[in-house]
Amino acid sequence: MARLTRIYTRSGDEGQTGLADGSRVDKDSPRIQSLGDLDELNAALGLLVVELHGTEQQDLITSIQQQLFDLGGELALPGTAVIGTEQVLWLERQLDQINADLPALKEFILPGGNHASAQAHLARAICRRTERSLWRLSRTEAVNSESLKYLNRLSDLLFVLARTLARRSSTTEASWNREP
């Protein structure tokens, strides 16, 4: 079944776009900003998946991408809640598992280490922006509180994943040197 037979519709040429319920909203509305940030996050995770080819982390990130599409569905259909406590708890379990083998943090970590680690850090930063934009939306419209928690845990997971990936090519991580 074809979902899109033509990519362009011309319906957005006047600065509005359609939501899944058929309503039209301004392209710069907080809801569309959140959807755009979410799309950018998913694209950044797609780059990370390429770096993780053939690993169990690839499966983890691909699962997260699927869940982010669910979250996008929530945003496209106001009043819908797809992300629930079970997805947040699943992320927490993944986070605990990845973090278990890492040494305790003593300093701030500089993003980098290797390409995969740097990509995870970039995705983390985009995830935090996405969370902020969803919080901004929640100030004026109803937002699923579990989705907000999900994005918060996801940024944490991406941080510990970046640390793990950095340690694949080195036994240490580059840390912030507070001294001039």
Q: What gap in Å lies between CA 1 and CA 24, rounded to an integer?
A: 26
Whether residue 116 contacts residue 55, with contact meaning beta carbons closer than 8 Å, is answered with no
Residue 176 lies in a domain: no
Range of the domain at 89: 28-99+109-166
Residue 12 lies in a domain: no
CATH code for the domain in which residue 80 is found: 1.20.1200.10
Q: Residue 35: which of 4, 79, 76 has the closest Cα?
A: 76
Terminal CA-CA length for the chain: 61
Q: Is residue 67 part of a domain?
A: yes
Q: Give 101: exposed, middle or buried? Use CB within 10 Å, 0-12, 13-18, 19+.
A: exposed
pLDDT at 11: 53
List beta partners, residue 17. Answer: 25
16 lies in a domain? Answer: no
Look at residue 178 and tell me if it is in a domain. no
Instruction: For residue 172, tell me if it sits in a domain.
Output: no
pLDDT at 108: 81
Looking at the structure of the chain, the number of domains it has is 1
Q: Rg of the chain's alpha carbons, rounded to an integer?
A: 18
**Is 90 contained in some domain?**
yes
Walk along the chain (180 residues) in steps of 10 and give the mean pLDDT of each run: 58 64 81 95 97 92 97 93 97 96 81 90 98 97 96 97 86 68
Predicted structure pTM score = 0.87
For residues 129 and 22, what is the distance between their CA atoms, to the nearest angstrom?
27
User: Looking at the domain assignment, is residue 134 inside a domain?
Assistant: yes
Looking at residue 52, its pLDDT comes to 94
Beta partners for residue 109, in sequence order: 175
Residue with tokens 């990936």: 165
